[in-house]
Amino acid sequence: MNIKLQQQANMPDKQHVDKITNWIMLLPFPLKTAVIQQVPYGDILQARRKRLDNKTADKSPVKFDLPNKAGSHVSSTCIKSDISTFNLLTLARKLVAVHHDYRAKELGIIVHGFNTKTAERMAEALLAAVLAADADMPKFKEKERTRAKLQKIYLYGINAVHGYKRTFAEAEGNALARCLSMLPPNMLTPADYLERIRQLAKENKWKLEFHDIKALQKKKAGAFLAVAQGSPTEDAGIARLIYTPNAKIIRKDKLVLVGKGICYDTGGTNLKPANSMFGMHEDMQGSAVAMGTLLALTKLKVNFPVECWMALAMNHIGPKSYKPNDVVTASDGTTIEVVHTDAEGRMVLADTLAMASKERPKLMIDYATLTGACVYCLGTAYSGIFTNREELLPTLIDAGRDSGERVWSFPLDEDYDKMLESDIADIKQCSRESGVDHILASRFLMRFVKNNVKWIHIDLSSSTRKGGLAHIPTNTTGFGIRYTLNLLLDKKILN
């Protein structure tokens, strides 16, 4: 992102305020006269004090124009210091949205009246929302206006030493994930996806390996191949990206990120109805989030190795499509009885997890738009979290609260396996009984995590949310990157 950030601990003078057409002002609740008097055009704020006092975190921002030559547009509100991260990010999105149609090249942000730690937190949320709103997303309208790009952000009231490098890295990773996920399915086939991955690998100095159909046949990856066999084009495969730190002190603890990359999901032989099929080009968002996380970690130059494994395929319907009652053999020798061809995500991930966990990473995280059951349980404001280390659950939930990308956990007890017992194979792909498919899918996946690797599975029920989520303004959220960086860098879960 080519946006420059200039910070200053003091307030700007009126002369500078008059040069910038768009401002965001974030002040403490309740609003005190002493705070107002220190802000440029405080008299205007004073006149709107009653309105501002009523605009707490669950209300819309106050909007007004300054009486200067620029006619500067302002969005402002007052906020309590203990506001939750999710509510803070949501408010930040609303404050930023006011300025969307003005298409300004420069934006001023004032955060004033808070202690240093709180001010940094407030400023970070606003920056995250600004960067998310400014990111380019796919658009194919003939008369789409060319949007002026934001070039510079002036931040007043705080001068953070770190320069919000992590916020910029997270935003770049999230923008990549959303952009890829929004591409139409005829523009992001597995072959197209691979070409984009190659370009990104070149730009970021990642090593790329691609296990194509022939390679997977040699590995006897029958679970993945069952899904891929319905495609008229043999372009499916498993991509592996490798980031090697260029640091003086390199940790040996390897992180592996795994993502479901179904570029379009028809449901296969168990064909989806029309309403359920629409939007299935985003069934690859898990892989985009995995790669977006890799990109963010690369930008931050983390000192531990990271691998990103992406299962790229289409779940087509056709004469060669796999079907219920088929029995296939995964790369680890597990035989699987197919029950429902629309449960293809766990099939491609089974072989991918088995292959990736052979590398014996310290931690493996997989991301997948896996089950409707998780959406039924949580809606689209949370994502589901599962792990084979029960003691991690409090940390995993705390990371969601702290990052603003919220998750909730579900049980993974062994007795759920009863529902996956097969009369003719080692395991059923899923159960015909309804209600707990998100749990059964996780139990199924866990079987393919080898070598007792520490594993976290995120069922991305919040990958799509109408109107956006937290600081993200688009329906496609790219959920998971900010969350994962909190886990790694704040919670230090890799230790």
**Active site positions, annotated:** 272, 346
- Cβ contacts of 302 within 8 Å, gap of 6 or more: 245, 488
Cα dihedral across residues 416, 280, 294, 350: positive or negative: positive
Residue type, 204: N
Cβ(388)–Cβ(445) under 8 Å?
A: no
Provide the H-helix boundaries in 66-189: 85-97, 116-134, 165-182
CB-based contacts of 92, cutoff 8 Å, min separation 6: 125, 126, 128, 129, 471
Task: Assess whether the previous peptide bond of 190 is cis (omega < 30° from 0).
Answer: no
Secondary structure (DSSP) of 407-468: EEE----GGGGGGG--SSSSEESS-SS-S-HHHHHHHHHHTT--TT-EEEEEE-TTSB-TT-
Output the 3-class SS for 42-68.
Answer: HHHHHHCHHHHHHCCCCCCCEEEECCC
CA-wise closest residue to 222 among 371, 366, 425, 367: 425
Closest CA to 342 of 322, 357, 368, 328: 322
Cβ atoms of 412 and 439 within 8 Å: the answer is: yes
Burial of 150 (0-12, 13-18, 19+ CB in 10 A): buried
